[in-house]
Amino acid sequence: MSIYDFKINSLSGQTIDFSNFKGKYLLIVNVASKCGFTRQYEDLQKLHELHGDDLAVIGFPCNQFGTQEPGKPQEIQAFCSTNFGVTFPLALKIDVKGKNQHPLYTWLTSKEHNGVKNTSVRWNFQKYLIGKDGRLMEVFYSITGPMNKRITKLIV
């Protein structure tokens, strides 16, 4: 299975079809509204605006870490739009680890599926960078901000 085989519903009720991102970098981030890293939404939006022709940022709300994303879809969307001007796609809330892990995150975290490496999601705002060829390039933990050179040098 390829990253381009995934489809997921967005907070706004549309389908996010990963096949539409062929030829672009993808930055997949598990997000939360009540986290110490929540301000990263600002830089995620900046990345989206600066590199939108070559990069798709997609946020995945998750309530598995400290119950820091308790909101309903409309609340999450309103919070992100109002506080950070978020216009990049946000998926419906999912599990990124454990027995109910979403298949996308199974692909992201399992070398058996992504062909590159095994990882585990440690906290909110962990970032997975996918190359223009659809292969996993790198994983960045929460402390690495979206505008960090470790990320931006890979997408330019």
Query: Contact at 8 Å (CB) between 127 and 140?
Result: yes
Q: How far apart are CA 28 and CA 31, in angstroms?
A: 10
What number of H helices and E strands is found in the chain? 5, 6
Q: Which of 35, 47, 96, 104 is catalytic?
A: 35
Q: How far apart are CA 68 and CA 144, in angstroms?
A: 19
DSSP code, position 65: S
Q: What angle do CA 150, 31, 97 make, to 5 degrees?
A: 95
Q: Active site includes 62? A: no
Radius of gyration of the chain (CA): 14
Q: How far apart are CA 97 and CA 113, in angstroms?
A: 15
Q: Which sequence positions are flagged as catalytic?
A: 35
